[in-house]
Amino acid sequence: MGKCSIAFFILTFVYMVGAFSARDLSLPTPVNGLSWTFYNTSCPSLESIVRKRIDFYLNQDITQAAGLLRLHFHDCFVQGCDGSVLLSGTSSERVAAPNLSLRKMAFTIINNIKARVEAACSGIVSCADILALAARDSVNKAGGPFYRLPLGRRDSLGFANKSTVNDSIPAPTFNVTGLMSVFSRKNLTLRDLVALSGGHTIGRANCSSFDNRLHNSTTGENEEDPTLDQTFANHLFLTCPTNTSVNTTNLDIRSPNVFDNKYYVNLLNRQTLFTSDQTLYSDSRTRDFVIGFAGNQTSFFEQFVLSMLKMGQLSVLTRSQGEIRKHCEVPNPTSSVFSIFNPQVSSSSYST
């Protein structure tokens, strides 16, 4: 065997080992009511339908992967993975400040998938499960790991109020202490924090999300965050010349549309947008995780899978709780939309 053939064999073997370990981890036991085989009999075509629609949309625009992943995050972090973020209305979660920048197309894609699933298996599959599957398949389509998902979530009957949304979604200006004040309430660890933050390897951000690193909040004058790489900062000032700029830019300057570990490489080089990103490298509590993921993409993928599975089972509704919505944006005709914190809601309707 020639040297080139040997090298090719070694690279192929390394790739296969990485792919295998990211896909075939020892996965945690699903929470009560969820199952690895939940729809095997009732809707066996579910995962195929979701995958084909994700392929359809992302083949046209791969940037939608970030929007779908973020939508899943924002659903799970507020009152659990119950599809409540998908409900529309003048007082819904969607109009709370942290959710105003969620991609409209992400909602459209979920609604389209739901219609396809309803045509195949009417009244069987929840919007919450479809959102979890769409996020998983979007990550994989963008180059990230594929992993099994426990299913069986049911949809909420209502949504959280604005103050709860504001309190539950970590802000891009947070440091590690602020981030963990949110994550620890979800029983998510520092390792989970760093791994889930790796979702910022795809997507874009508005200038307003990182303006605190460029301009004085009171005077609007240029005031550069000293933790920014100078060349990177110069680029950001071109994109966001004033504190009222409304432009957007990629979260990952190295491979903006590929789900990989370059986000962590960016952290090492002080080339990330948010305070909440750079703090993961600046803070000694999380720095080693960042360094480890930057040097080993397989390690990042494995932990991302575990952390996603953990997050994706937060306060899920199962069995007789909630409902299976026919349309993701509205409750079923026999239901009525109300705040999850309405005192008339029975505590038996929601998991704790």
- Write phi, then psi, for 154 (nearest 5 degrees): -120, 160
For the chain, report the end-to-end CA distance as a whole number of angstroms: 60
Q: Is 217 annotated for ligand binding?
A: no
Q: Is 252 annotated for ligand binding?
A: yes
Q: Is 30 annotated for ligand binding?
A: no
Query: How far is residue 116 from each of residues 20, 48, 111, 123, 175, measured CA to CA in Å?
Result: 31, 11, 9, 12, 42
Q: Is 82 annotated for ligand binding?
A: yes
In this structure, what is the dihedral angle of CA atoms 270, 274, 279, 282, given to the nearest 10 degrees?
Answer: 10
Q: Is 288 annotated for ligand binding?
A: no
Give the C-alpha separation, 79 to 1, whole Å: 58
Q: Is 93 annotated for ligand binding?
A: yes
Looking at the DSSP bridge assignments, the partners of residue 330 are 327
Q: 3-state SS of the chain? A: CCHHHHHHHHHHHHHHHHHHHHHCCCCCCCCCCCECCCCCCCCCCHHHHHHHHHHHHHHHCCCHHHHHHHHHHHHHHHHCCCCHHHCCCCCCHHHCHHHCCCCHHHHHHHHHHHHHHHHHCCCCCCHHHHHHHHHHHHHHHCCCCCCCCCECCEECCCECCHHHHHHHCCCCCCCHHHHHHHHHHHCCCHHHHHHHHHHHHCCEEEHHHCHHHCECCCCCCECCCCCCCHHHHHHHHHHCCCCCCCCEEECCCCCCCCCCCHHHHHHHCCCCCCHHHHHHHHCHHHHHHHHHHHHCHHHHHHHHHHHHHHHCCCCCECCCCCECCCECCECCCCCCCCECCCCCCCHHHCCC
Q: Is 327 annotated for ligand binding?
A: no
Q: Is 80 annotated for ligand binding?
A: yes
For the annotated catalytic residues, the residue numbers are 74
Q: Is 200 annotated for ligand binding?
A: yes
Q: Is 129 annotated for ligand binding?
A: no
Q: Is 170 annotated for ligand binding?
A: yes
Going by the annotation, the residues of the binding site for Ca(2+) are 75, 78, 80, 82, 84, 93, 201, 252, 260
Going by the annotation, the residues of the binding site for substrate are 170
Going by the annotation, the residues of the binding site are 75, 78, 80, 82, 84, 93, 170, 200-201, 252, 260
Going by the annotation, the residues of the binding site for heme b are 200
